[in-house]
Amino acid sequence: MKIKPLSDALGAEVIGLNYTKPLKPHEITTLKSNFLDYHLLCLRSKPLTPKQFYQLASLFGTPFTETSRFQWDENVPQISRLDSSYKTKDSKPKTPKDSRLSGWHTDHSFKKFPPKATLLHSHQVPSKAGQTRFCNTEKSYQDLPEKIKLRLNGLKAVHSYDTIRAPARPPQRTPEEIAETPDIEHPLVRVHDETGNRALYFNAGRTDRIVGLERKESDLLLDEIHEHITQKKYRYDHNWSVGDVIIWDNRCLVHSVNVDYPVGESRIHLRTLLKGKRPSGQKQN
Ligand SMILES: [Fe+2]
C-alpha cells in the first residue's frame, strides 16, 4: 500500500490495495486517518460492483439513499448510478455556466444534516475534460488575516435549495417540493467535527445570504469568499481513470465539474453519500 500526495493543495492517491476483498484492520485505520489529513483520497482500483463499492464506502461512514430513485441501483439503493454523458448535441450546456455541476459547491448544503463525504467511482470516462475539481476551504480559511477570521467566525449564512445568486438555477419545482426544502442556516466558518479544524463553508449554488447583513453587503462578502477559496493554490483537478474511487470531505472542500467533454462519449460513475452531523461553528468535546 502506497500513499502519494496528488497536489500541494489537497488529496492523495492510494495504490496497491484490492477492494474486492476485505481490507486488514491496519489498512482501514491508515485510509481513515489519511482521508482526514488530505481531505480527499483517490483509491486506484479496478471497476467494482455496486455491492463492493457500498462495502468500501461503509468503512468511512454510513451511506444513505438519495432523492432521485430512478438512479438507485436495484440491489443496493444506497448506490446511485450517474450517467452524465451527452447523448445529443442539445443535451450539452452551451456554456459551462449553464450547468449546476460546474459551479463550486459542497454537496447538499441546503440540508440540516449535509453529507460529511461523497464517494464517486468511475466506470466509464470521456477521452478529454470531465475532470472533477476541488478546492481546499480549510487552507483558504487558515490563510486569512486574523482580523477577517474573527469577523467571519461569528457569521451565519442562509443556504437555500434555490437562490438568485446561483450561476445556474435548478428546474422549477412544485409547491410540495418547495415546502420539503426550507432554508437552513449554517455557520460561515465550520468546525470539522473530527479534526476540530475550521474551514469556510460556502456553496456558490446554495448560499443565499449572510444573516444580519443587507443584501448588497452580503453579496459583496460572498463574492469575495468565492474568489478567495477558488484560487489556483487551493485547487486540485482530478483526471479520471476507469476504476478510480474518490472519497472527499464535504466539510472542508468545495468541488465542481469541467462539463466541457465530448458529445457521444460515456461518462458513468457510481456515487454514494455518507451521513453527516449538523455543521457547527463551535468546537465539540
Ligand atoms: Fe456535487
In a domain, 279, yes or no: no
Looking at residue 129, its pLDDT comes to 96
The x, y and z cell numbers of residue 159, run together, are: 443556504
In a domain, 281, yes or no: no
Domain count, the chain: 1
| pLDDT tens digits along 139-197 | 999 999 999 999 999 999 999 999 999 999 988 888 988 898 999 999 999 999 999 99
Find the 22 Cα to ligand 1 centroid distance in Å.
28
Residues within 5 A (CB) of ion ligand 1:
107
Find the 146 Cα to ligand 1 centroid distance in Å.
30
| pLDDT tens digits along 188-204 | 999 999 999 999 999 99
**What's the CA gap between 146 and 198, in Å, rounded?**
13
Choose between 79 and 178: higher pLDDT. 79
Find the 120 Cα to ligand 1 centroid distance in Å.
10
Find the 255 Cα to ligand 1 centroid distance in Å.
6
Residue 85: domain span:
2-274
Q: What is the CA radius of gyration of the chain?
A: 19
State the residue for C-alpha cell 481531505.
39
Average of pLDDT values for 117-124? Answer: 98
Helix (H, G, I), strand (E, B) or coil at 121: strand
Find the 132 Cα to ligand 1 centroid distance in Å.
9
Closest CA to 170 of 261, 83, 69, 67: 67
Share of the chain above pLDDT 90, in %: 93
pLDDT band at residue 136, thresholds of 50, 70 and 90?
very high
**What's the CA gap between 274 and 55, in Å, rounded?**
12
The CATH number given to whatever domain includes residue 57 is 3.60.130.10
Find the 46 Cα to ligand 1 centroid distance in Å.
23
| pLDDT tens digits along 215-265 | 999 999 999 999 999 999 999 999 999 999 999 999 999 999 999 999 999
Share of the chain above pLDDT 70, in %: 100
In a domain, 283, yes or no: no
Find the 256 Cα to ligand 1 centroid distance in Å.
7
**What's the CA gap between 230 and 113, in Å, rounded?**
24
**What's the CA gap between 30 and 27, in Å, rounded?**
5
Looking at residue 188, its pLDDT comes to 98
pLDDT at 98 over 70: yes
In a domain, 90, yes or no: yes
Looking at residue 200, its pLDDT comes to 98
Average of pLDDT values for 21-49? Answer: 98
Looking at residue 285, its pLDDT comes to 65
Looking at residue 258, its pLDDT comes to 97
**What's the CA gap between 251 and 189, in Å, rounded?**
10
